[in-house]
Amino acid sequence: MFETSSSLNELIFKSYIVEWIEILIKFLNELSKEHGEKPWKTLGKLQWKMGRKWIKENLPRLGIKGEDAIAGAEIVRLGLQTLAPGLYSQREFKIIDSSPKKVVVEMSAWCPVLEACKKMNIDPNIPLNYLVRQRLLGMLQTVNPKLSMDFVNIDKSTLRCQLVIEVLD
């Protein structure tokens, strides 16, 4: 039996996840031909519920206090780790603007959804919204219904983007 290095294991894991996301996107796009955006919206609702369930079960252990955008940014960072464990360090999740009402984060961590969209040469907005954003919104809005987040400045060529977490009035 051959042993694999941790970097090879990570490469295998990442390629598997990207391929799985590509298949999921293709499947949802095929369903959308007959049903419009309903398949994506259904997935989004399920993701939102999963995010809500996860934060309810885990918030007491996370040590996050408060309900403002700063607390929301930490919830998002930890929430991203539920999608890709260990891939979102403070270095890859760089806060570039911060106030209790609004936090802007520069993301440089590997994102399987962005990588799949790059490989498929498609706009990442719909997949990011329903595969990632909805889960994170479920977490945020369980803590504070006025918290919101969006992906902005998405660059699938470099696999980077920014997140804006804010408290809406």
| Domains (range + CATH), the chain | 6-167 (3.30.1380.20)
Q: What does DSSP assign to residue 67?
A: S
In the prediction, which pLDDT does 152 show?
A: 95
Cα–Cα distance for residue pair 58/38, rounded to 1 Å: 30
In the prediction, which pLDDT does 85 show?
A: 62
- Contact 103/95 with Cβ under 8 angstroms? yes
Closest CA to 140 of 166, 102, 107, 114: 166
In the prediction, which pLDDT does 86 show?
A: 60
In the prediction, which pLDDT does 1 show?
A: 53
Low-confidence ranges of the chain (pLDDT < 70): 1-5, 83-90
In the prediction, which pLDDT does 90 show?
A: 66
The model carries a pTM of: 0.87
Condensed to tens digits (0 to 9), the pLDDT of residues 58-101 reads: 999 988 989 999 999 999 988 887 766 665 566 788 899 999 99
In the prediction, which pLDDT does 72 show?
A: 96
